[in-house]
Structure 1
Amino acid sequence: MRVLLSTFGSRGDVEPMAALGAALQALGAEAVVCAPPDPEFAALLTRAGVPLAPAFTPVRQWAADAMANRPPMSLPERAAIVMAAQFEAISTAAEGCDVVLTTGLFPSTAAARCVAEIRGLPYIYTAYCPLFVPSEHQRPFAYPAHPHPPGETDNRVLWARDIQSMNALFGGAYAGLRASLGLPPVDNVRDHVFTDRPWLASDPMLSPWEPTDLREVVQTGAWILPDDRPLPTGLETFLNAGPPPVYVGFGSMPLHAFQDAARTAIGAARAQGRRVILAHGWADLALIDDRDDCFAVGDVNQQTLFSRVAAVVHHGGAGTTTTAARAGAPQVVVPQIADQPYWAGRVAALGVGAAHDGPTATVESLSAVLGTALEPEVRARAAAVAGTIRADGARVAASLLLESVRSG
């Protein structure tokens, strides 16, 4: 059996697909991941032993341009470009495949849905966060130019309005693509792409799914790619030269709202008497001086590193949150966009760290929440929760996927 795993997004979208691809291959299936061909993703998939089928463009510069609206265009216009281009890329990747599983940006998942229909293949949509799946227990994500009505507290009403918002943003592009392919029109873009039985690839402790009659959800656990890479020699030397430092990294965030992130974070850690490991990330964070209490890193084994730090300061991506939780590291989340406020809230609710109020921090505000995360009781709680985080989500999902296809 050959499985197509399709995504278009940042590392947080790609790495779980690499984990699932590796798990599928361990069970005897073939897997191919259609993902952005950025060098870091190519290296990641090579490490996982899963072949890469390139998406229509590398994503790092595309994401920076989209967030800065370069060139100027509306979200529906940008979505239409991605949808059409991704249909071509995913179609090529789907040659010889028996099933399509997709996640990532909505225009890409919509394109994957069309590829599956055209080829008559089973199709599975997966979310990494409950925020994007209809449930009366939570409010939907509010898209730009489509805010929630002031004062509306009924989540069922908000999810019904969410259909209208997504039709307004993506319906025209989807209708155009489907018409060009000879596929029938749909009147509810969201539910057609998300399906009535989506999968949720997140940890049940970190993001529990509460049953709802709005959707039947299959929660598999997070898809985690094991990492056995040794830490670089220089990093090992730094770790061994003093007490556990604070890790600061914002992953795939360009940080438009938090321009002086490195200086602020280093200042906050120093105010707490802590050393710092600074991850460059997509924001290209750099050391602010030549003092020996800070060390800068690129792509390293976070699974190992996080178990040796005093706290992890990050943006609140699903992958980073899960990795820090598994390592038992207290967390400070400075959420920027999308699902990151959700993960910040979960970290605070579980007592495994603290959430910064908003995307832009000062030395004083970040030092305050870091101080909370460094309290002994928070570290004890983080260590206790670490033992409950499942590591078998990718294997569970791989088994379910193969069973569902074989059973028809």
Structure 2
Amino acid sequence: MRVLLSAYDSRGGVEPLVGLAVRLRELGAEVRVCAPPDEEFAKRLAVVGVEMVPTGRSVRDLVTGKTPPSPGGVPRRAAELVAAFHDRAMAAGEGCDVLVATGLVPAVAGVRSAAEKLGVRYVYVSYQPVSLPSPHHPPMPRPGRPLPPDVTDNRVLWEQDARDAQEVFGEAVNTHRASIGLAPLDNVRDHVFTDRPWLATDPVLAPWQRPADLDVVQTGAWVLPDERPLPADLVAFLDAGEAPVYVGFGSIPMRDPKDVARVTIEAIRAQGRRAVVSRGWADLDVIDDRGDCFAVGEVNHQALFRRAAAVVHHGGAGTTTTATWAGVPQVVVPQGADQPYFAGRVAALGIGAAHDGPTPSVESLSAALRTALTPGTRTRAAAVAASFRTDGATVAAHLLLDTAGR
């Protein structure tokens, strides 16, 4: 069996494919991964021995503004993504039994077009329930297209979301489809999602509510134990005192990284705690040389979180999943997209606190940390971690084998 996995996403969107790729290979499958050409993705896949097919532009450069805006803006970038992922998937997917895709709509649309041309099965996967149409929740607002404040019917909002997706991506997708001899689409979003998408989330952390319009297959989160040791200097810092509070915002480009670092470190110090600051794509750093803070780059988050008193983060699906699995209390400072959803889930489960809004002050973050650092929150976080399903990638791998067999 041969499988092509594809994602145009940040690290949190590529990492689950690493877990799935490893489990597929254990079952005897050949696996390739189409991913952005960022060095960190290539290094991560190389560690587990999975071939990466660099596709599209650097996500990090795009997110951090190092890639200048193109003259055509979003439509131009969408057209580039559709073509790039179609062409790469056509080449890398030759002889494959199934193509699996996640990430931005135009990139996924390119992969599905390749599956149509190749005549092979296609699976769409989401890492958060709120990106899939359901009467139980509204859609996430698309950039520049806020949800109408006077509409409360979720079905109506999802119908509007489909129209918005068509207006933003329809021309790019249909122009490309015409160029390769495929029929145009009047609903790009639903074509990409299919009527049976997969949901790679833990059923306790991020459950799918039924009944719904889609026949969603929830596999559990695609996680892979990370055996990499922590750097020696970080271990020395951890061993030198009480468990610190971790703070990091992953791939989010914070507007004022220095102020964010100042606010978070002062709030952590106000609780009498040390801090580990993850630089991330915002390039956060320590604010002075007092010795109670330590800055890190790429490290094993699974191991680090298990040694933290609490984790302050943006609420991306990947970081929230890792922190929940580690059983560490969380403070989520959501910046957008699916992050308010995960902030709400952390608060609802009692495993941490949801900060109100994307811009914390020392006072507001201190209040959230006080909640997270209570013994009751840690006890609850440990209990939820004990119920966390670690077999999601294995379940998905077996399902893909069955799909290919049919």
TM over 0.5: yes
1:8 aligns with 2:5: no
| Residue number in structure 2 paired with 1:242 | 241
Q: How many residue pairs are counted as aligned between the two chains?
A: 406
For the Cα contact (< 8 Å) 1:56–1:89, is it kept in 2?
A: no
Q: Which amino acid aligns with 2:61?
A: Q
Alpha-carbon separation, structure 1, partners of 2:256 and 2:196? 36
CA 1:190–1:259 in structure 2 vs 1: closer, same or farther (change >3 Å)? farther
| Residue number in structure 1 paired with 2:20 | 20
For the Cα contact (< 8 Å) 2:166–2:189, is it kept in 1?
A: yes
RMSD between aligned residues: 1.5
Structure 1 position 89, deviation (Å): 2.4
For the Cα contact (< 8 Å) 2:137–2:154, is it kept in 1?
A: yes
Structure 1 position 257, deviation (Å): 6.9
User: Which residues of 2 match residues 121-200 of structure 1 at below 5 A?
Assistant: 121-200=120-199
Structure 1 position 123, deviation (Å): 0.3
Structure 1 position 91, deviation (Å): 2.2
For the Cα contact (< 8 Å) 2:85–2:107, is it kept in 1?
A: yes
1:255 aligns with 2:254: yes
| Residue number in structure 2 paired with 1:101 | 100
For the Cα contact (< 8 Å) 2:305–2:326, is it kept in 1?
A: yes
Alpha-carbon separation, structure 2, partners of 1:261 and 1:382? 26
Structure 1 position 249, deviation (Å): 0.9
Structure 1 position 323, deviation (Å): 0.9
Alpha-carbon separation, structure 2, partners of 1:281 and 1:231? 17
CA 1:158–1:306 in structure 2 vs 1: closer, same or farther (change >3 Å)? same
| Residue number in structure 2 paired with 1:30 | 30
Structure 1 position 133, deviation (Å): 0.6
For the Cα contact (< 8 Å) 2:205–2:345, is it kept in 1?
A: yes
Structure 1 position 264, deviation (Å): 1.2
Structure 1 position 97, deviation (Å): 1.6
Structure 1 position 71, deviation (Å): 4.0
Alpha-carbon separation, structure 2, partners of 1:261 and 1:254? 11
Q: Once superposed, which parts of structure 1, at least 4 consecutive aligned residues long, lie more than 3 Å away?
A: 71-74
Q: Which amino acid aligns with 1:167?
A: Q
CA 1:186–1:363 in structure 2 vs 1: closer, same or farther (change >3 Å)? same
Alpha-carbon separation, structure 1, partners of 2:78 and 2:37? 19
Q: Which amino acid aligns with 1:83?
A: V
**Structure 2: 5+ residue runs without aligned partners?**
none
| Residue number in structure 1 paired with 2:351 | 352
The one-character-per-residue Cα deviations of 1:294-333 (angstroms, maximum 9, x if unpaired) are: 0111111111111111000001111111111111100001
| Residue number in structure 2 paired with 1:207 | 206
For the Cα contact (< 8 Å) 1:99–1:405, is it kept in 2?
A: yes
The one-character-per-residue Cα deviations of 1:138-160 (angstroms, maximum 9, x if unpaired) are: 10111123222222111111111
Structure 1 position 244, deviation (Å): 0.5
Q: Which amino acid aligns with 1:143?
A: R
DSSP 3-state at the match of 2:32: strand
**Structure 1: 5+ residue runs without aligned partners?**
none
Alpha-carbon separation, structure 1, partners of 2:256 and 2:166? 28
Structure 1 position 211, deviation (Å): 1.5
DSSP 3-state at the match of 1:203: coil
Q: Which amino acid aligns with 2:99?
A: V
The one-character-per-residue Cα deviations of 1:214-259 (angstroms, maximum 9, x if unpaired) are: 1000000000121011111111111111111000111111113766
Matched-pair identity in %: 58
The one-character-per-residue Cα deviations of 1:7-36 (angstroms, maximum 9, x if unpaired) are: 111001111011100000000111100101
Scaled by the length of structure 1, what TM-score is found? 0.96
Q: Which amino acid aligns with 1:253?
A: I
Q: Which amino acid aligns with 1:12?
A: G
Residue range with higher mean Cα deviation, 282-291 or 92-101: 92-101
Scaled by the length of structure 2, what TM-score is found? 0.97
Structure 1 position 287, deviation (Å): 1.1
The one-character-per-residue Cα deviations of 1:94-152 (angstroms, maximum 9, x if unpaired) are: 13222100001111101101110111110000000001111101101111232222221
CA 1:217–1:119 in structure 2 vs 1: closer, same or farther (change >3 Å)? same
DSSP 3-state at the match of 2:252: coil
| Residue number in structure 1 paired with 2:280 | 281
Structure 1 position 374, deviation (Å): 0.8
Structure 1 position 72, deviation (Å): 5.6
Q: Which amino acid aligns with 2:197?
A: P
DSSP 3-state at the match of 2:4: strand
DSSP 3-state at the match of 2:220: coil
Alpha-carbon separation, structure 2, partners of 1:116 and 1:125? 12
